[in-house]
Amino acid sequence: MAGQQSRRMVALVLALVVVAAASLPAATAYGCYDDCYERCANGKDDPVCTKMCNQACGPVDQGAAAAGAAAGAGAAGGAPKA
């Protein structure tokens, strides 16, 4: 009886560790796309960098980056870069 209960506790702790570890990459990848594109494109509009950074960071991060860029462009009020 006691062995079965300790086995359940070990399984529960293991499940919690797996869930915690699964959320770690998402937390550390925030800003990945912005940083990747900045380093790759060096101020230019480059579709090759877009593709590479999408593969490296995932399209979810790009959505957050696009929202931030749109807000920044609206605040700047300047013409888009050529």
User: Which residues are CB-contacts of 43 (< 8 A; sequence separation ≥ 6)?
Assistant: 81
pLDDT > 90: what percent of the chain?
13
pTM for this predicted structure: 0.41
Percentage of the residues of the chain whose pLDDT score is greater than 70 = 54
The total domain count for the chain is: 1
- CA nearest neighbour of 69 among 48, 50, 51, 52: 50
Please give the structure tokens belonging to residue 17.
Answer: 């560790």
The answer to whether position 12 is within a domain reads no
Residue in 23, 38, 31 with CA at minimum distance from that of residue 64: 31
55 within some domain = yes
What are phi and psi for residue 77, nearest 5 degrees? 75, 10
Domain assignment present for residue 59? The answer is yes
In terms of residue numbers, what domain contains 43?
A: 31-69
Has residue 61 been placed in a domain?
A: yes
Q: Is residue 43 part of a domain?
A: yes
Q: Is the pLDDT of residue 72 over 50?
A: no
